Structure 1
Amino acid sequence: MTIVIIIWCFGFSTIAQDDPNHNNVQTYFNEARTYSNKNQIDLALSSLDKAAALAEENKDVKTLIDSYNMFALLYLKLDKVNTTKYYWDRAKVLLGEVEYPYGDAIYKYIEAILLYKENQNFQAIFMLGEARQLNNDRNFFNNILLVEGNIYLNLEKYESALKNFNSLVVNTDVYEKDYLASKAYIGLARTNIKLNNFEEALSNAQSALKLADENGFYLEVVEGNQLLSKSYEGLERFEEALVATRNLYTAKDSLFTLEKIKIETKTADEIHSENMANEIKRQDKRIEELSKSANKSEITAILTSAFLIIISLLAVSLYRNNQIKLKTNTLLQTKNSELQAARDEAVNAMEAKTNFLSTVSHELRTPLYAVTGLTHLLLEENPSENQKEHLKALKFSGDYLLNFINDILHINKIDADKLEPLNMEFNLKKVLKEVIDSLQQSAKENNTEIILDYDDTIPSHLMSDPLKLSQIFMNLIGNALKFTKNGEVKVVAQMVHKEEEDVTLYFEVLDNGIGISKEQQQKIFEGFEQGSIQINREYGGTGLGLTIVKSLLGLFDSQIKLQSDLGQGSSFFFELKLKSKDSIVDDIPFELTQKDYTFKGLHLMIVEDNKINQVITKKMLSKKEITSDIASNGMAAIDLAKKNKYDAILMDIHMPGISGEEATIEIRKFDQITPIIALTAISLDDSLESFYAAGCNDVVTKPFKPEVFYQKIGENIFDNRENGSLSS
């Protein structure tokens, strides 16, 4: 059943008490109000037209303002907004000629209703408050309460709405006591239905209907039956709901007859046309009067006066312009100072946010290292199948949390302008193959094939930042795999243009997965955005991957673009401008084989201030038959390095006292040979370049994967021995 709600009450209060024809005009206003409340709009307009004619005849501006305001309210009840605004504007013009607080109050009351109809709820409430300040008439105050209550109901401020409606149920209004009470009961019924208080709503609807029937408030009869039916439905009293619905249709049939609508429309149009014609006649008469008085002498006098006025105005204008310039300069200086202060405040706030996120993400890594490390050790100690299942779940959760922390830190670094692209030689095909190989396991889990479509005319040696490019493709391909099952993900790299060493390349990652709706495409690159709550629940993830891609491409002055259809798959594409190094001979194979190292007999130093991390790192080394000493701070590490010989030093960076970087610098003063590997929960202000500059041979970020940890140890000890040098 469709529920139609009529919420507006158009009340008419007393007119200006100093009107010489007060009694006659007041009679017409009373008739108009009575007819309006009974929804007999044609008769209401006719009575109001008589009041306006009488005001016009007696040149009573205040009564004419009241008439225009009331015309506006009646046409608003007919939903003729443009006609409403015509009379509203006419009232405004006359209000500029006289001091009339009551007229201003009604004018603002109408403005509040227009604002509400445009869904500007808070502005409407503000305007009602303005109107209330201008007049304390009881009838006017009650009508404001009613409109305000309906606005509160629309804003779901149910307590405020109930307060307004309850105060009107027992109103003592001289003009509209029963009408206001019936509207109040309707408001209470609507509010209680929203709150699922169907018993209370039923009682309210019955009270409204009783008053409406007794007084012939036909619209309220319709509304009362609507709410009665809705209340019975809520109480599951369906037979009574059906009866109320039948009564509703009967009331509507009697109220909204074709003949009645025709009469109302005809009357409304005729009166409006007549009023507009009268206004045109008044203007024509004024023009004619002015034309007759314009003889030659008068014209000369007028021209002379106009000339003198123009000269005076120019002089005044020049003076005012000079004053305005002085004030403007002062104002601009003040505003510049305010803007500077606001900018400084914004910068401080951004720095505070950045430092907070950096500290949090860094501090989370330390306990997470314990979680991932202990999980790895427990998995290697032959757990039972039941325990193994739980440990694998714990490992997955740890890896997921680590990726999330890494994403936050990465976004934070980009926001803080801590990232700049490097410019080093690399092989693009090798980078893409390494990314694809690392994601093959995810592809197998989704039964999805990754296809590389690589243009072999792309130069083998390019200059850019291969690490950031890897991150871009890791996120794009990983994202495509997540939303593609039993399908394929295609990675395209094509040459667009090459001129000497300047190369423009086109990249695209396509999938035939679930696709993205047009609506969600507008915000898919925003932080923590995954398209919908359902997608997040089904596929997981943080929604930061595409944000990182967009930010990283921004470092290369490039822009990610998207084409997608829901259910048909997605395509992400972009272009990059790079430099090529054609003179370099390609003698490096694409595939790098991972080596197996024999670690037995190695002796390492662990520099770590966290006791749990000490135990975990030492046990991981023991698993490979590596012995170790532990230094709990930088000074202890320097002392041990002077007294003993180690195959490598595992150096934590963030420690109390002197940092890992400072300790490395001191060790390098007397030992240039021993490999030093930085193990760090890298934070916002950390720089890999500064680690290498201090003398570190390599960097492993905590928490790390065990296979990466062992691989780095092997590379820095055994590979450097083969090369004959271990210096940094």
Structure 2
Amino acid sequence: MRSINNHYSKEVQKIQVNVTKNNDNNGKFYKTFNNMLIYSNDLMNIYEFAIRDSKFELEKELATQNSASNKIRIYLVLGSMVLMFIVSILIMYLTRMAFIYEKRLNSANQQIKENLNFKNRILGMLSHELRSPLKIIGIFIKRIHKKTEDETVKEYLKSISFTNDTLLMQANQILEYTKNQQVQNKLIPVTFNLNNEITSILTAIEPYIETRNNKFVINKDIDPDIVVHSDNTKINQIFMNILGNANKFTENGQITVNTSAKYLDEKTVTLTTEIVDTGAGISRSDLEKIFEPYYQGVLSEDVENLGAGLGLSLCKEIVELYSGKISVDSELNEGTTVTFSINLNINK
């Protein structure tokens, strides 16, 4: 019993010692925990202060941004209002100007219409009145031709008669145009001997070319049996315009006509003509615009009775009706060469 008592006494002492140690450790632990709790409270205070400070700064910055945004918003609204005001004024001004210009345009169109009607009336009257004296001239030409035996006079009468008939056809065309302004330039085919027609044209214009002391040379290679069905009046216009220009710009020189007819196929013959003069010539810069309507070039101030500048433009238009081509080659002060080709239907 004594041994057991001693043993448990020692064990109890050990336990008491351990409990005392544990109590000391728990006291240290509680003290450390208490210190940590106090430290954490301090940290929380610092964090809360930092949060409040950051929140204040953010609120301050947000207020600043809101203020700037409000200013920008106000400026944009004011700018938009000013811009809309300016645009409204411009629209009102442009509308007023458009109304004024439309009024002027309508007035100008009305004036143009009246002028065109007046022009057509004058052209109609002139062409109508010209036809009567031209017919009378034709009658007297025939009477003189019957009474004279002089072959030279008869040749002159042929030229005068041909020219008179050409003028009569032109007067009829002008009258037709005044009746219908929308009518397009087109071929009015008739049947005629090609060689005789070209001969008549060249014979009729020869006296005109001689008025400027120009030598008139004709090289013609056309089968006298070729009969075509085409518009002889427009062929006349082509020759008259080109030869008229050549004579206008040439004095004491020579004008040469090289013309030939070649069969293109069984139904078509191509009339190719080259008209060469030794006159004033055309500059390279003018050649580029030579077929433009009303273009007269740099010689306009030096040549009398220059005309309206429509001759070559009209020739180009007529040549294209025949599915042909026309070109001009020239050097200043060295003469001019005009070449054209037209396709004519063979009459069978």
Given the two structures, how large is their TM-score scaled by the length of structure 1? 0.27
- Which is strand-richer, 1 or 2? 2
Name the structure, 1 or 2, with higher relative contact order (CA <8 Å, separation 6+): 2
Pair member with larger Rg: 2
